[in-house]
């Protein structure tokens, strides 16, 4: 075994987005592409020599290859020990859990989250810091800067066949100890400290029916172990539970459009009482009752309002944080509880400082992400267990819990319209057009709506004082309805325009309205202001959730 120094040229475009570097697998397969980025991480995060790091991914195509490369590079960098999930598998929240539990220096998550996988699909890599959360922007910026000037990387020439990921155990690569750990155990142990497992067990014992759709992705082994083995839900409760390298050719994104099979089962007569799904790397969640998908923004608000019913949060929550485009339903709960609700840019990384400083206990995003201070990533299965615990503790159904919440707080009708794979120049033109209009929008009247505030959202982190600007155009009306425009930071093809629509309703007789109908006027205003149809050439959004 020897350490080799490989001379390379930099690749342009290795700029981490909302959640790490995400590209087509074929881009990662270019010579030294992954290695350049890994070396840039190692050179930007402080001295990792002598430290412990965690490595794992969602099992998609290229996962194992990447894990082996990272192990050889970690060995070359003098890392003391690498904790790696068996078969290279660790869900994103599990990486966060393992970093925290073993007080590791940091970790590398291999995933493109909800993006499709397989040879023609996407791959991704992200660095998490010692609190278990995604690296803050100053680190991701440094990684990018390094990737643009890199001239060489170091790697052990150990043969890949010597790097065994299949069985739990330890061995050396160079002077580095490789510890292959069970992918699920540490995470399952953490969940047992937060939720009343015996109460949930009783719920299942009483005949409660559930369908958890793992979407052929990494939540499968976690859900099977916890929901079926530990909580004793009947076998078959978890479906599509074996992670596949291409997620069965499907799009592992838990929303009503991509998890259509779950929706089909939840809509049919005599279907399960409770449905849930998670994404590629198991950090997202969708909660569904019979014929009743729960909006992620509502889910966050409901979890917050009922948190004291759950053992892990029985002493109350210190605050709530939501990303700016997420509906303001959680703000109403915060007001009722007398706690703060923080509004951050899109991206889980912005919650880290607030969680570390105990300013908030729960966080959530409209993009089907919910989580708490138990780790520093959003956590799909955690949210599902929270709902299960809530159902077990209150003996109420999903539909009842949501309806009672609306009765108490009013309903925030909410929808997101995505225009995917549009021409990047057109997308930028659309956003610039909106920016130009900002100074004149205040006071303008559109049908029944008068503009109260129009700006480009900028966030001042109250903990470290950093500012993140240009985080999305907000048009807020007098009645607090909102239209928000952003370009996605996670897509890999052209640009994706996200239009977020929110309308607050406090008349109970209107709570039953169909969402798109309740939002129809706002939808037309958005098109009028941003010229979406004209600029994108698309008459309809690609995805409506």
In the complex, the residues that contact ligand G6P under the rule CB under 6 A are 18-19, 113, 323, 346-348, 365, 367, 369, 488-490, 498
Q: Which CB, 237 or 488, lies closer to ligand G6P? A: 488
State the minimum distance, in angstroms, from the CB of residue 58 to Zn ion.
8
Q: Of 53, 187, 65, 69, whose CA–CA distance to 127 is shortest? A: 53
Number of residues that bind Zn ion (CB under 5 A): 5
Q: Which CB, 113 or 156, lies closer to Zn ion? A: 113
- What distance in Å separates the CA atoms of residue 185 and residue 323, rounded to the nearest whole number? 31
In the bound state, the residue with its beta carbon closest to Zn ion is: 113
The gap between the terminal CA atoms of the chain, to the nearest Å, is 52
Q: Which does 281 bind (CB under 5 to 8 A by kind): Zn ion, ligand G6P, none?
A: Zn ion
Specify whether the CB–CB gap between 187 and 377 falls below 8 A: no
Cβ-proximal residues to 498 (8 Å cutoff; 6+ apart), any chain: 325, 416, 417, 418, 484, 485, 486, 487, 488
299 included as an active-site residue: no
Applying CB under 5 A, which of residues 213, 281, 365, 461 lies at the interface with Zn ion? Answer: 281
State the minimum distance, in angstroms, from the CB of residue 380 to Zn ion.
8
Q: Which CB, 324 or 391, lies closer to ligand G6P? A: 324
Specify whether the CB–CB gap between 54 and 179 falls below 8 A: no
State the minimum distance, in angstroms, from the CB of residue 347 to Zn ion.
12
* Contact map string, positions 105 to 144, toward Zn ion, x by CB under 5 A: --------x-------------------------------
Q: Which CB, 244 or 282, lies closer to ligand G6P? A: 282
Q: Which CB, 219 or 323, lies closer to ligand G6P? A: 323
Specify whether the CB–CB gap between 346 and 472 falls below 8 A: yes
Q: Which does 490 bind (CB under 5 to 8 A by kind): Zn ion, ligand G6P, none?
A: ligand G6P
State the minimum distance, in angstroms, from the CB of residue 490 to ligand G6P.
3
Regarding beta strands 274-278 and 285-289, do their DSSP bridges make them parallel or antiparallel, or are they unpaired?
antiparallel
- What distance in Å separates the CA atoms of residue 356 and residue 358, rounded to the nearest whole number? 5
Regarding beta strands 176-181 and 169-173, do their DSSP bridges make them parallel or antiparallel, or are they unpaired?
antiparallel
Catalytic residue among 19, 111, 113, 219: 113
Regarding beta strands 210-213 and 274-278, do their DSSP bridges make them parallel or antiparallel, or are they unpaired?
parallel
Rounding to the nearest 10 degrees, give the CA dihedral for residues 210, 216, 219, 220.
Answer: 70
Tokens (6 digits) for 144 = 């990018």
Note whether 253 binds Zn ion by CB under 5 A. no
Applying CB under 5 A, which of residues 122, 174, 283, 298 lies at the interface with Zn ion? Answer: 283
Note whether 279 binds Zn ion by CB under 5 A. yes
Note whether 365 binds Zn ion by CB under 5 A. no
Cβ-proximal residues to 77 (8 Å cutoff; 6+ apart), any chain: 42, 48, 49, 154
State the minimum distance, in angstroms, from the CB of residue 40 to Zn ion.
23
Q: Which CB, 346 or 361, lies closer to ligand G6P? A: 346
State the minimum distance, in angstroms, from the CB of residue 282 to ligand G6P.
12
97's enclosing H/E stretch is helix 92-101
Residues with catalytic function? 113
Residues within the interface to Zn ion (CB under 5 A): 113, 279, 281, 283-284
């Amino acid at each position: 075994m020897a350490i080799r120094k490989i001379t390379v040229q930099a690749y342009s475009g290795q700029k981490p987005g909302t959640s790490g570097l995400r590209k087509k697998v074929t881009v990662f397969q270019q010579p030294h592409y992954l290695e350049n980025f890994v070396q840039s991480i190692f050179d930007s995060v402080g001295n990792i020599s002598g430290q412990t790091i965690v490595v794992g991914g969602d099992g998609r195509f290229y996962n194992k290859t990447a894990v082996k490369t990272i192990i050889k590079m970690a060995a070359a960098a003098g890392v003391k020990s690498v904790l790696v999930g068996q078969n290279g598998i660790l869900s994103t929240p599990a990486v966060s859990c393992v970093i925290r539990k073993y007080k590791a220096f940091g970790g590398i998550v291999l995933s493109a989250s909800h993006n499709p996988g397989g040879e023609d699909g996407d791959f991704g890599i992200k660095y998490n810091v010692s609190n278990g959360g995604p690296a803050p922007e100053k680190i991701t910026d440094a990684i990018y800067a390094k990737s643009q000037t890199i001239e060489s990387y170091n790697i052990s020439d150990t043969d890949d066949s010597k790097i065994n990921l299949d069985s739990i155990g330890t061995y050396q690569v160079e002077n580095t100890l490789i510890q292959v750990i069970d992918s699920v155990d540490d995470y399952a142990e953490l969940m047992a400290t937060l939720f009343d497992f015996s109460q949930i067990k009783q719920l299942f014992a009483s005949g409660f029916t559930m369908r958890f759709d793992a979407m052929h992705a990494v939540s499968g082994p976690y859900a099977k172990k916890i929901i079926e083995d530990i909580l004793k839900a009947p076998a078959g409760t978890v479906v599509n539970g074996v992670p596949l390298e291409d997620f069965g050719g499907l799009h592992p994104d838990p929303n009503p459009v991509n998890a259509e099979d779950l929706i089909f089962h939840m809509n049919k007569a005599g279907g399960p009482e409770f449905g849930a799904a998670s994404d590629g790397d198991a950090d997202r969640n969708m909660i569904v009752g019979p014929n009743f998908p729960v909006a992620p923004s509502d889910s966050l608000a409901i979890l917050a309002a009922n948190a004291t019913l759950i053992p892990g949060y029985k002493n109350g929550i210190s605050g709530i944080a939501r990303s700016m485009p997420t509906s303001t339903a959680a703000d109403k709960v915060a007001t009722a509880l007398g706690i703060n609700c923080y509004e951050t840019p899109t991206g889980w990384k912005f919650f880290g400082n607030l969680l570390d400083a105990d300013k908030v206990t729960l966080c959530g995003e409209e993009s089907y992400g919910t989580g708490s201070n138990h780790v520093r990533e959003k956590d799909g299965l955690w949210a599902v267990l929270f709902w299960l615990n809530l159902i077990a503790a209150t003996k109420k159904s999903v539909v009842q819990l949501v309806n009672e919440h609306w009765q108490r707080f009013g309903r925030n009708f909410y929808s997101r319209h995505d225009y995917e794979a549009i021409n990047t120049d057109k997308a930028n033109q659309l956003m610039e057009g909106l920016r130009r209009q900002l100074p004149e929008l205040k006071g303008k009247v559109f049908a029944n709506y008068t503009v109260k505030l129009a700006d480009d959202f900028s966030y001042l982190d109250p903990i470290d004082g950093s500012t993140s600007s240009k985080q999305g155009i907000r048009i807020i009306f007098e009645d607090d309805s909102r239209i928000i425009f952003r370009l996605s930071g996670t897509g890999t093809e052209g640009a994706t325009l996200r239009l977020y629509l929110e309308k607050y309703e406090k008349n109970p007789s209107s709570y039953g309205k169909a969402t798109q109908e309740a939002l129809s006027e706002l939808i037309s205003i958005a098109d009028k202001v941003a010229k979406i149809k004209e600029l994108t050439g698309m008459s309809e959004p690609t995805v409506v959730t």
